[in-house]
Structure 1
Amino acid sequence: MNRPPIASLLPENLEHPRLYFKSEETDQIREMCLEGSHAEVFAEKRVQLDQQLDNPFPCPPPREQSYRNGIWEEYSRLSGEARTLVTDYALAYVVDQNPAYLEKTWEGVTSVMRWPSWVHPVHEFMLLDLDGSHTNVTLASVYDLLYHSLTENQRREIEFMVYARGLSHCIGGMKHHFWANRYDSNWCSVCVSNMGLVAMTMLDAKSMHLRTDLEPRSTMIAVIQECIERLNHFYDHIEDDGSWKEGPGYWNYGISTSMPFSDALKRLTSGKVNLFSHPKLRSTIEFPINCFLPPDRVVNFADCGKLFPGGMAYRKFAMEHDDTAASYFDMLTTDGKPSLALPELFWDASNVDRELSDPDHPSAYFPDAGWCIQRSSWSDPDSSILALKIGATVEPHGHADVGNYIIHTHGKTVIRELGIGRYADPGEWIFKDTDGHNLPLFNGKGQPRDVRLEGSVLETQFSKSYDFLKAEIGPAYGLDVLDSFTRSYLYIRPDIFVVFDRIQVNAATHLESRIHFAGNGIAHDGHIEIRNEQVSVAVKLLLPQEFDLVEDRHTGLKPGHADPESQEVNYLKLESDLSPGTFIVGVAFGIDTEPSANIECKGSDYLVTYKGQRFNL
């Protein structure tokens, strides 16, 4: 895309407020919050704020506490709560003009300014990180929103703090930050978008030059220009098929955090700079939508949490691109309620039809990321879904999980994986390693996490009666003993999944293949039933017939912030001592039925037979 010359497009002498709405729109904001579309949510918020007036602001724990116990969730939670509370009080003051809200806002600002650092303890070696950029934009938002209500000294304090802890690390260029050119990571989008908003706020900062001898407008213009260019590069790195290799959770974080910056640019330049028009933004919404697992879950490969990452990003997509599916997911995840978050006050997609139309085929394949979602139906809330990931062993927030899969049916992810571990926790390895995924280990070894190795998709077929994908997984292990490992995923609609492994080794090898599940395992003659409340999935080992699946368990797990449910996870395992040659493993999964499929060998081919249908694996 062409990079716009922002200096000539941002008007001189912009008034405050400017980031989220103009001064002349203040009365409209008050009307919305007191009597109009936002009245109900604002009344609820006012009650919460009044209850908090006499309480101290949330404050993150001492940094050494996080170092000592290796737990960072509390720091993130409290710092996030403090930031939200500060901007909530600022907006409440704009609406109600209650002096107590103004006083409480400044109390929150001074509390935040007293934090020893705005950088998260896990990232203490950095000058500016995700948390730091969020805190910078929080103070900049208060500065912008309450500019005419703050004293000159209060404005000076904020100006200097966002300079010292944010802008000083951006002026002159950002390339010294690791995240600046990590265009495949949410870090780039979050940090540059937040700091771009801060620079917009400080275009006419009156006091910053007293300390730094810089001319505010030209200096901030340079920062904004660089943020635009880097965010454009981030959008460029969305895969051609719309997918995002970090998964739908970090897709949501990176994309949604970029929207306030893009929105402000579009408004302040009267539409001349419109990053929402980037061609890849038009298609990328299909990726998280296709990862949806009804009623509220998501395909959670790598470091993605289990809950569907919905929210206001879908509303903005619906507004900008008249996207009916985005509008549908806006309603599904927000109930269409208006938002009191400052950037989102005017976001309204109620005039966009909320429709999730049935595509030509319910399944989706994203070859660039190597993700495939085999789905029975979009209209049935109890639909059955097998999601699989090929891809690579090393990606941002990636796991050693090339060839991994999960099965979701009747609203439950029954065949699962461990999910996300605690960042920076020594016990996190098992969540990221092959051990915690539905894959085999060879002599106890899985795929490496320190070397980028890839699988490759060999064949795909999608039809009304079945879906099929075949991939070569072996190179992702990087093991000399493993000559080849192909895995095939067959979905026979409506109720049978088959996972078929053809493994070739050149030396004696111990194999342990795992299938993790959520629920209770009940042994039957010929299969194991996984029972999760009222949901039943039958697991049948088709080949080798002389072996059995045995139940085992991970214990003492410390799950991550996005997955609090996993303290103990059960899995089925198949163990065998392999001789040099080819070893076949075929497993069938029946939804509410015993999978009466059979596998037979015809020369070098293996055929699955089910209800008169035959499929070549």
Structure 2
Amino acid sequence: MLWNTDGFAGPLAALCRDVAATLLPVGRALPVPAAGLRGGRGIPHATLAPLLARARADLDTAWPQPLASQAARVHGDGDRDMYEQRVFERQRRLSRAVVAALVDDDPRWLDEVADGVWLLAEQSSWCWPAHDDTRSRHGSVLATVTDPFLDLGAGEVVGQLAWIDHVLGARLDERYPGVRRRVRHEAEVRVFAPFLERRDWHWIGLDGDVHNWNPWIHGNVLVAALALCDDEVRRERLVALAAQGIDRYVAALPGDGAIDEGYAYWWNGACRALEALDLLAFATGGAWDPVAAVPALRETVAFPHRSHLGGPWYVNLADGPARPPADQPWHALHRAARVVDDAAAQRHAIVAQRTLDGPAAGEDAGLGRMLRALADREWLAATNPETPAPEASPLPRKVWLPSTQVWLARASEGSPAGLTVVLKGGHNDENHNHNDVGSVIVASDGVPVIVDAGRPTYTAQTFGPHRYDIWTMQSDWHSVPRVSGLSQPPGRAFAASDARLTRSDEIPAMDVEIGGAYPPGAVATWRRQTSLDRRAARVEIHDRWQGAGPATAVRLLLAGEVTAGPGWARVVPLDGAGPVRIAWAADAPHTLEARDLDDPMLSDVWGRSLTRLEIGVDGRTELRVTVEQERNEDERS
């Protein structure tokens, strides 16, 4: 087969279109041999034992059942989480059963797998209701089974079924003849036919708006085509279109590898692209293996450790949490880092997995990712408790990502100790956008003190016309100024400009114009400079402006225990990090406002509340705010 260049050719096509490839046959086209996992050979006890314990606990209990009333709630009160959690619970249980069936010949496990597969086949829709267009197309609040929508949920299910067929298909056929035919029928009706026949899927990116759905769905279509499509002509067409779709994503990936959605979305965006291309290389016998030759893909492998603040904490932009779930597919990062020969990224994957006491693999990341981890001998060896671990995550001393205008500086490379500062420019129409141009994050010993709140649980409102009624999306609750009584509006026109770096080893700094992020007429110019004085161990936020009206203030969002007085605030951070003292001109008035957190997506990260410090600056044209860690008497002397 040849690379499909109908209508689009990106960096992958440039490398692969003149290279003929032959797909490995169904049953051999995915890189996890079932025999290699029989009996649990090579799988660490610390990973396998708890997984099997959870699977045993599932037996003889009712399967999670997503209900029509739960699916329809997204069109009523906006709740999408109740339905989705039932779906996720069902798929996690099935993934556990698959591993149990692979390592244990007890026929109950095959029965459990068959039950889960059949439930998915009988599930009216694999699409998550919040994504389905059935209401606009058919006036229905429930899925229209004759017009299936291909979204992230449908992709995840067909990918899971494909991996099951790959590793257990023959054994299932012996015990449940016909179940594999049913799986293939559902894959054709719900995924393959819609993918080929309806080419207006927004996530393909035909309009140039390419985001993380693209590689996530295309990657799952690729897996399913390789494992479940027995018509070779149709299979090649599916693979070629999926590869071309991923090429669109790679073409949109900036040269510095940055993700405007932030670290948390890297795992289901760039990482998905890397995983899909790794599968494509395997399925073509290495003929199409472009990852190491594409600069943006090499650079994006470094994005996770460039975003690391320390321990479980990361630079969070847009909807990402500052303390993401620990159970990331670290093996996928480790594998990609091996492909591009990035030793720092490999080290970060190992250290992060061990620091968080996580298993080498788990079902939360999806069956395909779990199987790939369990079959990755290099990863299992690197994370074996008996293998010496790297001393620390790379924690670069400085980071500059021009595509997103994100700048980071820390006290010392390889250590979270002391202060780390981050300044973001960018614009207000990024993926999963928050109105946050000019936002500052400061961490003490790797723990955010001046923070970005992140986002609450997704609802129908999150991606609807009233998104910016949600407080976490507003500039008023980011560490940016309020100018002339006005906050930042959404839209690409509201942007930073003229970013300048001071590339000093002693006092690195970033200075950027952020006045353009506010409504026209709000201010003539507003420049924000953030610097780290490494010798003095001090962060400075220096704002200078002209033409601002009344009700102008500099705001900082703080996490931890906050006390304040004229010209100062003291913050005792989370996780036992060193307290910091924030200082400004004593004659500039201030207020503190606590924001109670009642959503677990926020409270699980920050605790019961966050505090907004507002410093009034009417009548001024500049303000300097400094942040220093408190030092004991011995350090002062």
- Does structure 1 conserve the Cα–Cα contact (< 8 Å) formed by 2:411 and 2:420? yes
Paired residue for 1:301?
317
Single out whichever of 493-502 and 447-456 deviates more from structure 2: 447-456
SS at match of 1:414: strand
Give the conservation status (yes or no) of the 8 Å contact 2:152–2:217.
Answer: yes
1:540 aligns with 2:583: yes
Q: How do 1:188-227 residues align onto structure 2 when only pairs under 5 Å count?
A: 188-204=214-230, 216-227=231-242
For residues 248 and 570 of structure 1, the distance between their equivalents in structure 2, rounded to whole angstroms, comes to 24
| Alignment gaps of 5+ in structure 2 | 1-10, 135-148, 363-369
* Aligned with 2:334 (options 315, 319, 329): 315
Structure 1 550/516 Cα, relative in aligned 2: closer, same or farther at 3 Å? same
Q: After TM superposition, give the deviation of residue 360 of structure 1 in Å.
A: 12
In structure 2, the CA distance between the partners of 1:2 and 1:192, relative to structure 1 (3 Å rule), is: closer
| Cα displacement (A) at 1:280 | 2.0
Q: What residue in structure 1 maps to residue 397 of structure 2?
A: 362
Bigger shift: 326-335 or 386-395?
Answer: 326-335
* Structure 2 residue aligned with 1:342: 371
Offset, 1:220: 2.2
CA distance in 1, matches of 2:18, 2:373: 24
Partners of 1:376 and 1:387 in 2: how far apart?
Answer: 12
Structure 2 counterparts to residues 424-443 of structure 1, below 5 A? 424-425=460-461, 429-443=470-484
Kindly provide the amino acid, as one letter, of the partner of residue 448 in structure 2. T
Q: Choose the corresponding residue for 1:286, options 285, 290, 302.
A: 302
Distance change (3 Å), C-alpha of 1:559 and 1:450: farther
* 2:125 paired with 1:117: yes
**Structure 1 unmatched runs, 5+:** 205-215, 595-610, 612-617
Change (3 A) 1:111 1:6: farther
Q: How does 1:461-540 map to 2 (within 5 A)?
A: 461-494=502-535, 495-505=537-547, 508-523=549-564, 526-532=567-573, 533=576, 535-540=578-583
Task: Pick one of 13, 27, 50 that aligns with 1:16.
Answer: 27
CA distance in 1, matches of 2:393, 2:223: 39
Distance 1:405 1:559, change over 3 A: farther
Query: For residue 168 of structure 1, what is the amino acid of its counterpart?
Result: A
Q: Any conservation in 2 of the 1:242–1:284 contact (CA below 8 Å)?
A: yes
- SS of the residue aligned with 1:478? coil
- Deviation (angstroms), 1:128: 1.5
Q: Judge which range, 440-449 or 342-351, deviates more.
A: 342-351
Contact 1:377 1:384 in 2 (8 A): no
What CA distance in whole angstroms lies between the structure 2 residues aligned with 1:276 and 1:203? Answer: 26
Considering Cα pairs closer than 8 Å and 6+ residues apart, tell me whether 1 or 2 has the greater RCO.
2
Report the TM-score when normalising by structure 1. 0.85
SS at match of 2:189: helix
Give the Cα–Cα distance (whole angstroms) in 2 for the partners of residues 60 and 561 of structure 1: 26
Distance 1:238 1:561, change over 3 A: farther
Q: 2:485 touches 2:550 (CA, 8 Å); kept in 1?
A: no
- Opposite residue 151 of structure 2, the aligned amino acid is D
Asked if the contact 1:375/1:385 (under 8 Å) is kept, the reply is yes
**Maintained 8 Å contact 1:416/1:517:** yes
Q: Distance in 2 between matches of 1:144 and 1:260?
A: 17
**What residue identity is the alignment partner of 1:142?**
I
Alignment match, 2:438: 403
> Equivalents in 2 of 1:556, 1:346: separation in Å?
41
* 1:316-374 deviation line (CA, Å, top 9, x unaligned): 12331232212212212223954361232332244799768998971111111100011
- Give the direction of change, closer, same or farther, for the CA distance of 1:128–1:560 in structure 2 (3 Å limit): farther
Aligned partner (choices 279, 285, 292) of residue 270 of structure 1: 285
Aligned to 1:607: none
Query: In structure 1, the residue corresponding to 2:510 is in which secondary structure?
Result: strand
Matched, 1:386 2:421: yes
Find the aligned partners of 1:501 and 1:67 in 2 and give their Cα distance.
44
Aligned match of 2:346? 327
Give the SS at the match of 1:312: helix
Q: Structure 1: which amino acid aligns with 2:196?
A: I
Aligned residue pairs total 572
Q: How does 1:233-248 map to 2 (within 5 A)?
A: 233-248=248-263
Residue in structure 2 matched with residue 45 of structure 1 by the alignment: 51
Give the CA RMSD over aligned residues: 3.0
Matched, 1:56 2:98: no
Q: Which has the higher helix share?
A: 2
String of CA shifts for 1:420-451, please: whole Å, max 9, x gaps. Answer: 13333468621111011011223442111144
3-state secondary structure, aligned to 2:495: coil
Q: Which moved more, 1:334-343 or 1:119-128?
A: 334-343
Partner of 1:82: 90
The equivalent of 1:413 in structure 2 is 448
- CA distance in 2 between counterparts of 1:5 and 1:57 reads 46
CA contact (8 A) 1:381 1:410 kept: yes
1:455 matched residue in structure 2: 496
Return the letter of the residue paired with 2:297: L
Give the structure with the larger strand fraction: 1
Percent identity, aligned pairs only, is 21
Provide the C-alpha distance between the structure 1 equivalents of 2:515 and 2:305, rounded to a whole number of angstroms. Answer: 30
> How many Å separate the matches in 2 of 1:358 and 1:137?
32
Per the TM alignment, residue 121 of structure 1 is displaced from its structure 2 partner at its CA by 2.0
Kept in 2, the 8 Å contact 1:559–1:565? The answer is no
Comparing 523-532 with 466-475, greater Cα deviation is found at: 523-532
The alpha-carbon distance between structure 1 residues 287 and 173, as it changes in their structure 2 partners (threshold 3 A), is: same
Amino acid of the structure 2 residue aligned with 1:523: A
State the alpha-carbon separation in 2 of the partners of residues 410 and 438 from structure 1.
20
